[in-house]
Structure formats: C-alpha cells, structure tokens
Chain A
C-alpha cells in the first residue's frame, strides 16, 4: 500500500508553540500534499511539494521532503487555537492520491 504513516498520531501544544508532524511513505511519488480537516468535515489543501523540491514555505507553514528517506515534515509555527484539526499528508503518483493516517493536533489557548 502507498498509504503514508504519520507521526505522532496526536499532538497537544500550547498556543504560540510550534507543531511538527512527520509523514513516511513507501512508494514512488510525483508530489506530496498536506491537508487539514476540521471535525470530520471537508479537507482543506495546505501545501503541495513536488518530488524535485526539498523545502517549501507558505505563511506559517514549512514543509520538507526527503525522497531518499521517503519522508516529509510539516511545521506550523506560532500555533493558534484555530489550528486545532487533523492534518493529513497525501502522496500523489500520477492521478492517484493516497492519504496518510493523519495527526490530530490540539492547540490549547
């Protein structure tokens, strides 16, 4: 299975702290994406990093990708209570997107 494994499964931090989530996958990819999901509703796309990129930034988000280790990390800096959600990595290989197991982030005000 191409499904990614995310670590940790759950993370609880204080507002203002940084949150780091890791994703490992098993097969070749064209890109890796990160999504956020609030309370079991629709997913929101956060950032896409291509397989030939190593790092990407978007606002308070920083994503790294190491294709040799088949791993990626998502860093959220200066977290806010509104960042409380589940975060999924998703690996894309041609037209197929496969979601990882997710990290549940709780940011305590």
Chain B
C-alpha cells in the first residue's frame, strides 16, 4: 500500500468554526508533513513530524494546530481561520526524516473559509 489518504476532500467552514483535517498512511513511514498550497503557487511546508514528534513548525499561526496521535495518523486542527487561509492542504509522508527520502503525497483537502 503506497497510498496517503486525506479526509475530507472538500471543506467549507466559517471563521468561527472548529474543524479537523485527517491524514493516514500505512506504509510504515516515520515522517509526516503538512503543506499549504494556494492557487497557482507551489506547496509551502507548514509542519514536519518525525517519529510522532513535531520537528519543524514553519512559523505557522496558532489557529493551525497539528497532532500526530500515532505513526500512521496526522491531524490538522483548525480554529478561527481567516478567508486567506483558503487553500489546498496537502499531507505527505516519507520513510524517514531527511533529504534522502522521497515524499508520498495525499490528494489534499480543498479548504474554503467563508
């Protein structure tokens, strides 16, 4: 199984809502990532988890809160978002953290904040 799954595929939320994005992989990968991609722009790294511990936070606002409950799951909790947070949120995983490992991406969650 070389698949990374993400749910939901689409999400519309108001600025006062609380929602969560979910990512799952069963490849035994020990590193997982969240990226944000605005339209016609490249993905931008948000967070990196390595062995279930947060290793990189790219100065992401606290209204985005990542969580790694176990080695297969990665969540992104959303609260009090702004319309400019509307984007495609991509999850990825790799065998290990570091530059030698390719990343496997999920299909993304398209988030619209109204």
Contact = CB atoms under 8 A, between A and B. Distances in A.
A43 B91 CA distance: 10
Interface residues of B, number: 29
B46 to A, nearest CB: 12
A95 B99 contact: yes
B99 A93 contact: yes
Interface string A36-74: 000011111100101000000000000000000000000
Interface SS of chain A: helix, strand, loop or mixed? strand
A99 B44 CA distance: 7
Contact of A42 (B50, B102, B108): B108
Nearest to B100: A31
Contact of A41 (B44, B97, B104, B107): B107
Interface residues of A, number: 26
A43 B6 CA distance: 13
A84 interface: no
Contacts of A3: 42
A100 B41 CA distance: 9
B45 A92 contact: no
A28 to B, nearest CB: 11
Nearest to A32: B99
B34 to A, nearest CB: 12
Given A30-B99, A102-B42, A95 B88 contact: no
B41 to A, nearest CB: 8
Contacts of A92: 99
Given A40-B88, A43-B90, A44-B105, A95 B39 contact: no
Interface of B: 4, 31, 33, 37, 39, 41-45, 48, 50, 55-56, 88, 90, 92, 97-100, 102-108, 110
8 contacts: A30-B98, A31-B100, A41-B88, A42-B4, A43-B90, A88-B42, A100-B42, A102-B42
Q: 10 shortest A-B CB distances, which residue pairs? A: A30-B99, A99-B42, A92-B99, A42-B105, A42-B107, A45-B102, A43-B105, A95-B97, A31-B99, A41-B107
